Structure 1
Amino acid sequence: MIRFALRIPEDLHARLTTQAAADRRSINSEILHLLDVALASASPDAGSPGGDPATPAQLRGKPDTSPA
């Protein structure tokens, strides 16, 4: 396992502490859980053509043809 130092704002730390206590996890375990859930829900093709998250999604619907 890799050790990783992370600086976070105090308010975020407080929220993590509260959530970890509610879930009966350590703060480290809560952060790992939240990252795992977030990364699992970010499917490779969610809104991005070709599955590249750095590529913006194409606009949908009719193009705006009104005069400027």
Structure 2
Amino acid sequence: MDEERRITLRLPADLHEWLTAQARSARRSLNSEIVHRLEAGLGNASADDQSP
């Protein structure tokens, strides 16, 4: 990932609170936590792409 893009993201308050707690627990920023979880989900996406 050489390029970064800035986006505006709306989250339900309870999801935001949960992600913030997870980020704090992992000693990451909220942004880093979201990126980490999205990248971790990419492995699952390739399997989903192959299903009919």
- The answer to whether the superposition gives a TM-score over 0.5 is yes
Larger Rg: 1
TM (normalized to structure 1)? Answer: 0.63
Distance 2:45 2:9 in 1: 22
Q: In structure 2, the residue corresponding to 1:4 is in which secondary structure?
A: coil
Aligned to 1:39: 42
2: CA distance, partners of 1:12 / 1:32: 15
What letter corresponds to residue 39 of structure 1 in structure 2?
L
- Alignment match, 1:5: 8
Identity level (%): 53
Normalising by structure 2, report the TM-score: 0.80
Q: Comparing both structures, which one devotes a greater share of its residues to helix?
A: 2
Stretches of structure 1 lacking an aligned partner (at least 5 in a row): 50-68
Letter in 1 for 2:11: I
* Separation of aligned partners in 2, 1:42 and 1:3: 23
Runs of 4+ in 1 over 3 A off after TM superposition: none
Cα RMSD (Å): 1.0
Aligned positions of 1:1-68 closer than 5 A = 1-43=4-46, 44-45=49-50, 48-49=51-52
Structure 2 residues not aligned, in runs of 5+ = none
